[in-house]
Chain A
Amino acid sequence: MIDLSLLRFPGFAMVSSGSSSVLLLEEVTFAWRADEVILHIPYFEIGKGERIFLRGPSGSGKSTLLSLISGVLTPQSGKIQLLGANMTGARASERDALRARELGVIFQMFNLVPYLSVLENVALPCRFSAARGLRAKQSGGSIEGEAGRLLARLGLGEAHLRGRKATDLSVGQQQRVAAARALIGGPGLILADEPTSALDTDARGVFIELLSEECAARGSSLLFVSHDLSLATHFDRTVDLCAINAAFSHAQA
């Protein structure tokens, strides 16, 4: 509650809207139905290269927030900026293009297109954004080369794995393929939505460390969403969604 009042302080927002921010949300509200605002975020910012743990229990508007950040949903009011580009004012096609270029998304599970091979899954974002494909080529010589390099970095180096259908892999392997896909072409921000909840405890730590290392290597920021606070130690900063979501606190109060 105390945090909240600080965040709402107008001067705070003014100061922080510099060009170094990767993601910036200001007075963002979203409602599925007009009378029921489920998300109201006065201010939220992620700096360049920052790795943030966002604690969000179910019902805190976590999925909605991720959809808003990725430009799949648009807020009723407020401003969302991704790498300085205004998501809220942009057309749907521009938001799709921005997402393809600057976002990597890792879901809780079932991340992969079942009929594509592991390598094709990793390369997928480069097919929807030429700029991202170009960055991948600059980094790895070719899109496939970069995909293979990322897979190797994430412990999936065996050549025979790359041609396999994504659904033939174990859950842990699938999550690492998803991480490689999110990382390819060095997007500005990686959104990870409970990516470790399907993994056992040992694998969780390893996965997060690998993901953090690769984000750091590419200068990508990381927004890691989970309800499991024990993972928070791996990150630069922890943010409680309940704390920054004014609508949630109203409902709980």
Chain B
Amino acid sequence: MRLATLLNMAFRSLLNRRVTGALTLMAVALSVALFTGVEKVRQGARASFERTVSGADLIVGARSGPINLLLYSIFRVGDATANMTWRSYEEIASDPRVAWTIPLSLGDAHKGYRVVGTDENLFEHYRFGEDQTLTFASGEPFRDLFDVVLGAEVARNLGYRIGDDIVLSHGLGEVSFADHDNKPFKVVGILEATGTPIDRSLNVSLPAIEAIHVGWETGAKTPLATIMTADRVRSLDLKPDELTAMIVGLKSRGTVLKMQRDLNTYREEPLLAVIPGIALSQLWETVGIAERLLSAVSACVIAVGLVVILVSILTTLNERRREMAILRSVGAAPGDIFFLLVLEAAVIAFLGALLGLLVLYAGLMGLAPLVQARAGVSLVGLGPGAFDLVVLVTLTGLASFMAMFPAWRAFRNALADGLTVRV
């Protein structure tokens, strides 16, 4: 009963100080939103990257840096500096230790989305998340030369359906200046959303990539490209000469290190094979300093929020001595007064943190599509979790702890003042 009374009084006291109370609440809410937001996006980015490469044992491409290779081949961040030959691809694919391979040929785009030249292995062997395979929302894998399978986001954002014709563009710009306009593609399949960069890609066969580049060998459109219409190009040998990278799945994980070494010392051409998990951890190490700095800054903001609570209580102590004397006169012990102030801090911290989390999730919901489109980081899985509860409880606890300082002063005042206040 006494706890309920004091809690009610703490609430009412805060309600009574509307302006300072609201400002304090806002400061706490913003600090919590920032801190939790930074943490969420960090975890979200990691989870999103990790779920993308869950099934791959090795990523192989032309020699560059491990992080670089991983970023451009899987996450579609940046561009390849060189390609690997088709001969190497075939040789690796036929290695007895290799279970499956997925070729990746990048370079073209459609309205800002990447076009990926690959083969049916993508649909059969690619694994993401918890060992999930790609599934079709509608349609089926590409069969014909000019078939295209769309990622979920591409189909959704551009409003494409099965049977639509689309024209691919040369290069990666969002606004295209050179279209492969005499070789339109037909949408034959649309994939379910995966939360990986696949959602944002248009998947075609490797020969298709060759076909649309007939007459583009110099890097620019020549008259040949115009002459070679979709029908005529079918008669050509469209076996690819090179590709950007490949994903390798091994029969046994135990052979991965040996396989990696073999590929890194490949005689025919300079190749680079990376183990996705290791390359990712290298990536996190690289960005780790920035991450930690960001975490430290947001932790400091939390500290500022706590100090604001402390100040908001300390500044009222003197003007509340009269109130404390009244409470003493009706039977409140000095301990009740101590507890009242601690409760007030706890209530501000709790409500502030709650408000901050609400603001954060509202913000995340609003920003998630933007972040997904711009940074390729899926924030979809960032629902409220145990971490939020920890933040809520810890902040309330810290605020209560810090409030013991003003509470102790009020306790001392209460003992000294008794029923009379000399102010």
What residues of chain A have their CB less than 8 Å away from a CB belonging to chain B? 63, 66-67, 70, 72-73, 92-93, 96-97, 99-101, 103, 105, 107, 110-116, 120, 124-125, 127-130, 165, 181
Residues of A within 8 A of B332 (CB): 96, 100, 128
Residues of B within 8 A of A127 (CB): 1-2, 5
Residues of A within 8 A of B323 (CB): 113-114
Residues of B within 8 A of A96 (CB): 331-333
Indicate whether B122 reaches chain A with its CB closer than 8 angstroms: no
Give the B interface residue count (CB, 8 A): 24
Residues of A within 8 A of B382 (CB): none
How far in angstroms is the closest Cβ of chain B from A143?
11
How far in angstroms is the closest Cβ of chain B from A116?
6
Give A181 to B13 CA distance when docked, in angstroms: 19
Contact B16 A72 (CB under 8 A): no
How far in angstroms is the closest Cβ of chain B from A105?
4
Contact B331 A129 (CB under 8 A): yes
Contact B9 A125 (CB under 8 A): no
Residues of B within 8 A of A97 (CB): 331
Contact A105 B330 (CB under 8 A): yes
Contact B5 A72 (CB under 8 A): no
Give A111 to B418 CA distance when docked, in angstroms: 14
Residues of B within 8 A of A101 (CB): 331
Contact A105 B329 (CB under 8 A): yes
How far in angstroms is the closest Cβ of chain A from B155?
58
Indicate whether B420 reaches chain A with its CB closer than 8 angstroms: yes
Residues of B within 8 A of A107 (CB): 326, 329, 419
Which secondary structure characterizes the binding site on chain B? helix
Residues of A within 8 A of B418 (CB): 67, 70, 72-73
Contact B419 A66 (CB under 8 A): yes
28 contacts between A and B (CB under 8 A): A66-B419, A72-B419, A73-B418, A93-B333, A93-B335, A96-B332, A97-B331, A100-B331, A100-B332, A107-B326, A107-B329, A110-B322, A110-B326, A113-B327, A114-B16, A115-B9, A115-B13, A115-B15, A115-B16, A124-B330, A125-B331, A127-B1, A127-B2, A128-B2, A128-B330, A130-B1, A165-B16, A181-B330
How many residue pairs link A and B with beta carbons under 8 A? The number is: 70
Interface string of B303-334 (1 = CB under 8 A from A): 00000000000000000001100111111111
Give A116 to B12 CA distance when docked, in angstroms: 7
Interface string of B177-194 (1 = CB under 8 A from A): 000000000000000000
Given contacts A110-B322, A128-B5, are A72 and B328 in contact (CB under 8 A)?
yes
How far in angstroms is the closest Cβ of chain A from B338?
13
Indicate whether B50 reaches chain A with its CB closer than 8 angstroms: no
Residues of A within 8 A of B242 (CB): none
How far in angstroms is the closest Cβ of chain B from A202?
27
How far in angstroms is the closest Cβ of chain B from A220?
15
Residues of B within 8 A of A112 (CB): 326
Indicate whether B336 reaches chain A with its CB closer than 8 angstroms: yes
Contact A92 B333 (CB under 8 A): yes
Residue from A92, A100, A115, A165 having most chain B Cβ neighbours under 10 A: A115
CB interface residues, B 1-38, toward A, < 8 Å: 1-2, 5, 9, 12-13, 15-16
Contact B12 A63 (CB under 8 A): no
Across the interface, A63 reaches (CB within 8 A) one of B328, B335, B419, namely: B419
Contact B1 A67 (CB under 8 A): no
The 4 closest A-B pairs by CB, nearest first: A100-B331, A115-B16, A128-B331, A72-B418
Contact A63 B5 (CB under 8 A): no
Q: Apart from A93-B335, A113-B323, A125-B331, list 8 A-B contacts with CB within 8 A.
A: A67-B418, A67-B419, A93-B333, A96-B331, A110-B322, A111-B326, A113-B326, A128-B332
How far in angstroms is the closest Cβ of chain B from A23?
16
Give A116 to B322 CA distance when docked, in angstroms: 14
Q: Which residue of A lies closest to B420 (CB)?
A: A63
Give A110 to B421 CA distance when docked, in angstroms: 11
Give A73 to B288 CA distance when docked, in angstroms: 60
How far in angstroms is the closest Cβ of chain A from B63?
72
Give A127 to B323 CA distance when docked, in angstroms: 16
How far in angstroms is the closest Cβ of chain B from A121?
9
How far in angstroms is the closest Cβ of chain A from B171?
67
Residues of B within 8 A of A120 (CB): 12
Give A93 to B336 CA distance when docked, in angstroms: 11
Across the interface, A115 reaches (CB within 8 A) one of B2, B12, B335, B336, namely: B12
Give A72 to B13 CA distance when docked, in angstroms: 24
Residues of B within 8 A of A103 (CB): 329, 331
Contact A100 B330 (CB under 8 A): yes
Residues of A within 8 A of B327 (CB): 113, 124
Give A129 to B336 CA distance when docked, in angstroms: 13
Give A93 to B333 CA distance when docked, in angstroms: 7
Give A241 to B2 CA distance when docked, in angstroms: 37
Q: Which residue of B lies closest to A68 (CB)?
A: B418
Give A130 to B418 CA distance when docked, in angstroms: 22
How far in angstroms is the closest Cβ of chain B from A60?
14
Contact B420 A67 (CB under 8 A): yes
How far in angstroms is the closest Cβ of chain A from B273?
70
